[in-house]
Structure formats: structure tokens, C-alpha cells
Amino acid sequence: MRVVWLCGPSGVGKSAAGFEIFARLGRAGVRAAYLDTDQISLVHPPPPDGTHHARARALAALWPVFEAAGAGWLVVSGYVDTADDVLPYGPALPAGVVRVRLRVGVADRVLHLATTPSGPRAIAGGPAGAHAHGEGGEVVWLCGARGAGVSTAGYEVFRRVLASGVRAAYVDLRQISFLGPGTGVDPAVAGQTLAALWSVHRSAGAECLVVAGPADDRDTLARYAAALPGTAVTVCRLDAGPAALAERLRLRALGQGPAIPGDDLAGRTPEEVRGWAGRAARQARDLRRAGVGDVHVDTDGLTPSRVAELVLQAAWRGSR
């Protein structure tokens, strides 16, 4: 596997450029994966040896999953400031790292390397053996239709669990499951990446994992739960009416909310947003009819803080 790592100070555009490289590789038919190191190290309090060691362990657990799924390239966006920051990553990554500076033409250079038969060959980093899955602990899983506020409420739930004194981790499932071509979530791959990352966070002492992730039916959720043996998983479905979904999607298209890699709503036209809203309303209806989730919270008219409060009351054992 070849690894392309984009680094630089905050705000320089690492995530946007990294995801664009990943997307271009996919459009060229190259099997590639993408990770933002910020998204794989959300465990607090941080491990004693520091954030970079935690991220290195997470990368070491995740890249073999992508390689086993056929990825020959891994694009990574991540901040490193000094030579000492870089040291933990060497043993964690496969051989064959392509070092590039974030400048005009970098995406073209990587695309050329990946699609030229005489270019650098992918270097195997060893088989993706079974990870020592973290057992025990508790998972609070938030799901719902697009626009239901799953990621926003999920992060607020994570903050509140931390405030209670419990060591916790947070994962946005889509952010650890980018495997192209395409940017959708493959439950088979996502289940493996989630299990691998939870094992890392669990070994760092995390007692609770908050997951924000899509789940279209009970069978998909059952597969995810099976990937986390020995861990108590409670699924909370967030519900919202068509008007609320449409308004939230409209605001996201205008750039409100956190900027996240792969956000396909940003910059959409009003007509496109209406199409998204219609699909989201149908998705919410289908989830409701299927009774997905152990519990559910109606989010219409509620702030993310209030939604998080209700989720914790309904789904977290620590609040009982």
C-alpha cells in the first residue's frame, strides 16, 4: 500500500486537498482510502504518551483493513509540527510513503503516480490479521435520516459523557470508512474499521464510545454490533419531520455547521437541496416504520444540547 500524507498548519486546507485527491483517484478507477487524523483520535483524556502516538496506533489498526478491502493507496490529512511528532508514525505505516507539499499540482502528481503502470508499485504492508477487538465498555450509537442532526448531537453527547468524568471516545462512522471509488459507507468495511478503532481506544482506557453513523435497517445494525463482541451497544434513532430536515439541509448547504471532509451538501443549489430534503424525508419515514433503534428521540424544535440530554437519558447506562 502507498500512503500520501498531507500536512501543514491549521487552516491551510489539508482535509479539503486530501479528500480531493481521494476523490480524483476514485474517479480514475483507483481503489483508495482516505483518513483525517483528527477523526481517528477523538479519545479523552488523551493517552499519557500524547496525541501523535494515539493517532499512530489508530493508523496502524486501520490501514490493514483498507488494504484487505483492496485499497492500494491511502490518503492521510494530518498535522505534524516537528520531527519528534513524525517519529511515532514510522513503525505504524506501511512502507512506501509519498511525501508531498501542499501546493498547486499535488493532486495531479499523486494521480499520475497511481495510474501510471511504470510508476511506483504498491508496497504490501503485511496481512490484515484479526484485530484484538476491545471487549467490554459501552457504545451509544446515534443514527437517523440525513439532516436529523446525528453528527452534531453525537459530538454533544460525547462532550457530556466526558464532563461526567467518564473516559470516552467519539467516532463519526463515515469519516473512518472512505473507500473509493465512491464515498458511501460499506457496512462490511465500516464494521471492521470501527472494531479496529474501538480496540485502540479501549486499550487507551475508554469506557464509552459514542458513534454517529448511518444504519438503514436492523440487519445493518446487527452486523455492526457483531463486530463489537462483549460491548453493550444501545442504538438511538434521531427523528425529524420533513420541514425540520429541509431547513437543516438548507443551512448546511450554505456552510453553517462544522466543515468536515466529504461534505457533499456544501455549496449545493436550492434545487439540489430540495432533492436531498425529499430523500431525507423518505429515509426518516422508512426508519420510523422499520422501528430502527432501541430508543428514539424526536428532534423537531430542539437544540443539539437538549437532544444530547434526551439521548443520554434514554441510551446511556451512566445516566441511570
Q: What is the residue extent of each domain of the chain? A: 2-115, 138-319
Residues 39-58 have pLDDT tens digits of: 999 999 988 888 899 999 99
More confident residue, 120 or 73: 73
Answer whether 0.85 is exceeded by the pTM. Answer: yes
- Of 48-52, 113-117, 170-174, 226-230, the range with the lowest mean pLDDT is 113-117
Q: What is the mean pLDDT of the chain?
A: 86
Comparing 68-77, 92-101, 131-140, 297-306, the range with the smallest average pLDDT is 92-101
CATH class of 138-319: alpha beta
The residue among 22, 16, 252, 289 whose CA lies nearest residue 146 is: 252
The CA-atom distances, in angstroms, between 71 and each of 30, 100, 127, 151 are 8, 20, 13, 27
pLDDT in tens, 126-171: 333 334 445 789 999 999 999 999 999 999 999 999 999 999 999 9
Within 10 angstroms of residue 125's Cβ, the number of other Cβ atoms is 18
User: For a pLDDT cut of 90, what percent of the chain falls above it?
Assistant: 61
User: Mean pLDDT throughout 294-298?
Assistant: 96
2-115 and 138-319, same CATH topology: yes
pLDDT band per the 50, 70, 90 thresholds, residue 176 = very high
Residue 259 pLDDT level (bands cut at 50, 70, 90): confident
Give the HSE-up count for residue 108: Cα atoms under 13 Å, Cβ half-sphere.
3
| Range from 19-23, 78-82, 196-200, 237-241 carrying the lowest mean pLDDT | 78-82
| Cell 443551512 belongs to residue | 251
The CATH class, in words, for 2-115 is alpha beta
Residue-wise over 203-213: b if at least 16 C-beta within 10 A, else e? Answer: ebebebbbbbb
CB 199 within 8 A of CB 284: no
Ramachandran region of residue 26, left (φ > 0), alpha (ψ -120 to 50) or beta?
alpha
Distance from C-alpha of 280 to C-alpha of 275, rounded to nearest angstrom: 9
Residue count (the chain): 320
